[in-house]
Amino acid sequence: MRTSPLILLLLAPLIGGCESLHFPWQKSSPAAVEATAPAETAALPEAAQQCPPVQEVVCAEPEVKVVERVIERTFEKVVEVPVAKDKLVLGSVEMVAIEPGGLLLESLIDTGAPTSSLSVGGLKPFERDGKEWVRFKVSVGDEDDALSVELPVKRYVRVARPGFDTQRRPVVDMSLTVGEVTHMVEVNLTDRTSLDYRLLVGRNFLKDAAVVDVSRRKVQGQPRPPAPK
């Protein structure tokens, strides 16, 4: 059996829902239009909730911290080093007795000099018994009171000093006494009249016998040479 097209046209609204059922010859009433308007308006907020409004985001400024830098300074510590009892403590300047001659000289203690050095005047080499000797004068202050000394030459050394010509100096053996310590050491002879000290005591006297405190002067006082035999 065939279904009439008119019947299908009438059944289509029923299948879609009774609320929308109306006939073509019926006009939509204003109440119906007003009823559908709130539904459409209510649907708008729901759609709007799906896409939230754009909000302006303001980033906070980073916090600036001022850090004070403290620099720790390290200071040198002065440590007292014990000195062996059998060693002599000397200052930068000491009174020294020399032999032969028996003179007392204010002398410079120089740890940088390998050998001791004595300022003399009238230095003259000569020969005695086939050996080389040297004659010289030593004085404490006034040349008129200079003491004449003759000693055999042990050897010669060449000494180079900044700003001066190289010197060839004779070396003799002499006895030096500082405090109660007496040593026979090699002494080179030269003209040191332009310097403040006539005698320079080097490492050949200080080695294994004394330590030097450069901040002090004349620690040992007057020298006490051994009594002559």
Q: What is the pLDDT of residues 210-225, one digit of tens each?
A: 889 999 999 999 998 8
Q: Which of 79-88, 117-126, 148-157 shows the lowest per-residue confidence on average (mean pLDDT)?
A: 79-88
d(CA 95, CA 175) in angstroms, rounded, equals: 14
pLDDT band of residue 86 (cuts 50, 70, 90) is confident
pLDDT band of residue 65 (cuts 50, 70, 90) is low
The pLDDT score that the predictor gives to residue 177 is 94
pLDDT band of residue 87 (cuts 50, 70, 90) is confident
**Domain boundaries in the chain?**
88-213
pLDDT score of 160 more than 60: yes
Assign domain 88-213 to its CATH superfamily: Acid Proteases (2.40.70.10)
The pLDDT score that the predictor gives to residue 57 is 63
pLDDT score of 20 more than 60: no
pLDDT band of residue 201 (cuts 50, 70, 90) is very high
The pLDDT score that the predictor gives to residue 104 is 93
pTM, entire model:
0.60
The pLDDT score that the predictor gives to residue 14 is 56
φ/ψ of residue 187, rounded to 5: -130, 125
